[in-house]
Amino acid sequence: MFRSMNRICKYLLCLTVLAAALCATGCDEAPVSAEQPDPTEAVTQAETVTEPAQEETTPPTEAEEPETAPPTEAQEETAPPEPVEADYVITKVSGEPDWDSIPAVPIDQVLWTDDFGIRGAAQLCYDSEHLYVHLSAVESDIRAENTEPLAPVYQDSCLEFFFQPEGADKYFNIEMNPNGCVCMEYGPAKTDRFALVRGNIVEYFNIRTDRTADGWEAFYDIPLDYFRYFFPDYEFTGVLYGNFYKCGNLCTNKHFLAWKPIDLASPDFHRPEFFGTLVYGE
């Protein structure tokens, strides 16, 4: 009996030790298995669900605004042309010009010499076929030596009309003395010009000159066909740039005068940058 009791006690002792071992194992942190989610991961996921991240919205910058394509040529409205400020309006006439009713501009800008009281004036008008020109001078010592076409009439008492059609890169010069002797040239500059001779120049341009009580005057007509020889589509409309001059290089009183002033130190009429604006009137 004593032996049986001893065995029972040993058996109970073993159970006690085993139970203690099991308790000790349960208090330790259990290893994370592949099937068991990481608790930190679970917390992160929970926080993500509870407080979802807000997507940042950046206000659109000027560069991000949608660009508007420029209007095409067809879409653009045709703006009316800017009005041209005229220095002189060329009067439209019907029939023979009445010069007493045509406005005149003075040739009174004294250039490069003393003022000897010499003056000039210019008038223009036009119809469907011609541009009409009337130039006059007030001077007492008149020189008129040259008689042949294209002679150096600027040496004599001389009246001149330089003009340039709108958009052209060359200009005309028509110079005339009291004999009706004419020098006509065309080109882009003073040193790059060619002379213009067309048959009977006096008849073609209907050139007339007269002596007056205080000087002399010249008349001539420039046919529309003459313009069209250089500019086939030319019409007497729009703008013509030009200047009017009075000179006399070998006159008793050498002189240079202009309608529009020329801001240069030495004589030179071949300066289209100083031309005035002539507009064909209606």
**114-145: per-residue pLDDT in tens?**
999 999 999 999 999 999 999 999 999 999 99
Tell me the CA distances in angstroms from 274 to 28, 64, 239, one per residue in order.
108, 50, 15
Integer Cα distance of 178 and 158 in angstroms: 7
pLDDT of 198 over the 90 cut? no
pLDDT value, residue 255 = 98
pLDDT at 73: 54
Residue 200: the pLDDT is 86
Q: If you compute the radius of gyration of the chain from its CA atoms, what whole number of angstroms results?
A: 51
For 218-277, the pLDDT digits (tens) are: 999 999 999 999 999 999 999 999 999 999 999 999 999 999 999 999 999 999 999 999
Q: Is the pTM of this model over 0.75?
A: no
Give the residue with greater pLDDT, 277 vs 70: 277
- Using DSSP bridges, classify how beta strands 158-165 and 239-248 pair: parallel, antiparallel or unpaired: antiparallel
pLDDT band at 150 (very low <50, low <70, confident <90, very high): confident
**Domain covering 88-280 in this structure, CATH number:** 2.60.40.1190
Confidence of residue 47 (pLDDT cuts 50, 70, 90): very low
Q: What is the pLDDT of residues 23-45, one digit of tens each?
A: 444 434 433 334 443 433 433 33
Pairwise pLDDT comparison (43 vs 161), residue with the higher score: 161
Q: How does strand 255-258 pair with strand 119-126?
A: unpaired
At 196, the pLDDT band (50, 70, 90 cuts) reads confident
